[in-house]
């Protein structure tokens, strides 16, 4: 499965430039130290964290995309940084729990 | 320049995790007894005990009080915010209160949150849970405190909870923190490579009990023990500087004990 399929299946809002990579799995966390330690390259990150470092961590880990939940929207300078660093930032009004459940139902696992 | 020792992070009885014995008056007395030249009151997300702290320092004499709070950002990072003037800190406290999550304290779970006067009389209880989180992002808080003329210190950056690194994974760009605080067990050398060289390390007690005040502190070479001098020392300008522990022992020998046991 790739990022565009997830965007259309979950009705996510694309807030940065879209990088349509293959998705290897998903990881859910708000502590970015935990994301650095445990998320895998190609994962989609599900989080409420909107600090600029989410972009840096996405680049460091090689995340396929970041899904910001609960209606939160990063500041414009964070979204600009995402574009500069080819990080796909998606947003949704749904909760982290719901997004994780819907991704699971699509066959995505943690890996 | 002389070497002055400062403890830049101390909690009073108003912090729910703070000892009820830690009244502003006793904090000042303990700091004076431990020969601290400056001490900051930094309760969680409030400055409501700062007026009593100011009065206690004025009554005691010979110690410089600094006023502030340890604010929880929306990323759940603990940040020490310090001000020179009581009035600035009180205004800042009102601002923080407006941004603190409106969750009521449960004293049985978290402890009482008494606001007291200089004579340890209880003026009232803060009803909002002070260990809650504000909706202020780190960047926004940093900008706000600097606009008010304050200093911003990242608390216990080595700890696995509520620290810049636990919450953000790496040092955040575009934040102009004035210093970082390291816990007792942390070595400067372990963390120096992860923080920009422009951001100095300080040591604070983060005391929640009277006996812990000054357990860790920072020595500064200053012309006088004041907030403005401290700000210069954190930037390392005009001859003001942080004195490393080894140099400090050489510069300021342990004062002889006046009351040998």
* pLDDT (average), residues B238-254: 72
User: Residue B242 domain-assigned?
Assistant: yes
Q: Which pLDDT score, from 0 to 100, does residue B247 have? A: 66
Distance from CA of A83 to the nearest CA of B (A): 17
User: Residue B163 domain-assigned?
Assistant: yes
Query: Whole-angstrom Cα distance, residue A3 to residue A90?
Result: 10
pLDDT, tens digit, 9 for 90 and up, residues A12-60:
999 988 889 999 999 999 999 999 999 999 999 999 999 999 999 999 9
- Confidence check on the interface: ipTM exceeds 0.90, yes or no: no
Which DSSP string do the residues of B16-59 spell out, in sequence order? TTS-TT--HHHHHHHHHHTT-SEEEEEEET--TTHHHHHHHHHH
* Fold (CATH) for A3-105: 3.40.1390
* pLDDT (average), residues B51-77: 97
* pLDDT (average), residues B48-62: 97
CATH of the domain at B66: 3.20.20.140
* pLDDT (average), residues B87-107: 96
**Residue B245 backbone dihedrals phi, psi, to 5 degrees:** -50, -40
User: Residue B257 domain-assigned?
Assistant: no
Distance from CA of B136 to the nearest CA of A (A): 11
Task: Please list every residue in chain B whose beta carbon sits closer than 8 Å to the beta carbon of residue A85.
Answer: none
The pairing of strands B241-243 and B78-83 is unpaired
Which candidate, B167, B104, B169, B92, places its Cα nearest to that of B131? Answer: B104
pTM: 0.90
Structure tokens at B89: 């800190």
Query: Whole-angstrom Cα distance, residue B199 to residue B53?
Result: 28
Terminus-to-terminus CA distance in chain A, angstroms? 14
Structure tokens at A59: 């680049």
User: Residue B222 domain-assigned?
Assistant: yes
Task: Please list every residue in chain A whose beta carbon sits closer than 8 Å to the beta carbon of residue B79.
Answer: none
Looking at the predicted structure, is the pLDDT value of residue B245 above 90? Answer: no
- Put simply, the answer to whether B139 touches A52 (Cβ < 8 Å) is yes
User: Residue B13 domain-assigned?
Assistant: yes
Q: Which pLDDT score, from 0 to 100, does residue B248 have? A: 59
Number of domains in chain B: 1
- Put simply, the answer to whether B167 touches A32 (Cβ < 8 Å) is yes
Q: Is A83 on the interface with B (CB under 8 A)?
A: no
B19, B22, B24, B26: CA torsion to nearest 10:
180
Looking at the predicted structure, is the pLDDT value of residue B240 above 90? Answer: yes
How do the domains of chain A map onto residue ranges? 3-105
H-assigned helices in chain B: 24-33, 50-60, 86-99, 107-110, 138-147, 164-168, 188-192, 227-235, 245-251
Distance from CA of A5 to the nearest CA of B (A): 29
Looking at the predicted structure, is the pLDDT value of residue B17 above 90? Answer: no
Which candidate, B223, B251, B219, places its Cα nearest to that of B238? Answer: B223
Query: Whole-angstrom Cα distance, residue B90 to residue B96?
Result: 10
- Put simply, the answer to whether A53 touches B170 (Cβ < 8 Å) is yes
SS3 A31: coil
SS3 B124: strand
Distance from CA of A4 to the nearest CA of B (A): 27
Terminus-to-terminus CA distance in chain B, angstroms? 33
Q: Which pLDDT score, from 0 to 100, does residue A13 have? A: 97
Residue reference for tokens 């954190």: B234
* pLDDT (average), residues B129-149: 96
Q: How many CA atoms lie within 13 A of A5 on its CB side?
A: 10
Backbone CA torsion sign across B72, B75, B80, B85 = negative
Spatial contact of A43 and A66, defined as CB atoms under 8 Å apart: no
**Which B-chain residues 112-171 have CB contacts (< 8 A) with chain A?**
137-139, 160, 165-170
- Put simply, the answer to whether A52 touches B166 (Cβ < 8 Å) is no
User: Residue B259 domain-assigned?
Assistant: no
**Residue A43 backbone dihedrals phi, psi, to 5 degrees:** -75, 155
């Amino acid at each position: 499965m790739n990022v565009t399929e997830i965007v259309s299946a979950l009705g996510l809002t694309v807030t940065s430039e879209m990088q349509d990579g293959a998705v290897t799995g998903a990881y859910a966390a708000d502590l970015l130290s935990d994301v650095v330690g445990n998320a895998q390259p190609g994962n989609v990150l599900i989080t409420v964290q909107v600090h600029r470092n989410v972009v840096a961590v996405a680049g460091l880990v090689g995340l396929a995309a970041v899904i910001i939940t609960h209606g939160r929207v990063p500041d414009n300078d964070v979204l600009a940084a995402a574009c500069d660093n080819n990080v796909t930032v998606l947003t949704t009004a749904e909760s982290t729990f719901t997004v994780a459940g819907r991704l699971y139902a699509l066959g995505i696992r943690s890996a | 320049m002389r070497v002055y020792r400062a403890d830049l992070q101390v909690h009073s009885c108003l912090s729910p995790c703070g000892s009820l014995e830690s009244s502003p008056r006793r904090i000042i007395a303990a700091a004076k007894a431990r020969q601290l030249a400056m001490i900051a009151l930094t309760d969680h997300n409030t400055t409501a005990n700062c007026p009593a702290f100011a009065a206690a320092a004025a009554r005691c004499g010979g110690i410089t009080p600094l006023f502030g709070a340890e604010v929880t950002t929306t990323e759940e990072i603990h940040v020490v915010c310090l001000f020179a003037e009581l009035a600035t800190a009180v205004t800042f406290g009102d601002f923080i209160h407006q941004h603190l999550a409106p969750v009521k304290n449960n004293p049985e779970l978290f402890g009482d949150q008494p606001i007291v006067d200089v004579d340890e009389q209880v003026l009232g209880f803060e009803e909002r849970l002070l260990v809650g989180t504000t909706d202020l992002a780190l960047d926004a808080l940093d900008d706000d405190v600097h606009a008010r003329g304050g200093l911003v210190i990242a608390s216990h950056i080595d700890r696995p909870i509520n620290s810049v690194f636990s919450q953000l994974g790496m040092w955040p760009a575009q934040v102009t923190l004035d210093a970082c605080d390291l816990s007792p067990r942390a070595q400067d050398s372990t963390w120096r490579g992860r923080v920009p060289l422009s951001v100095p390390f300080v040591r604070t007690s983060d005391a929640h009990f009277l006996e812990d005040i000054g357990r860790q502190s920072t020595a500064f070479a200053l012309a006088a023990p004041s907030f403005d001098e401290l700000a210069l020392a954190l930037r390392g300008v005009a001859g003001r500087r942080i004195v490393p522990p080894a140099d400090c022992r050489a510069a300021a020998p342990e004062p002889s004990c006046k009351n040998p046991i």
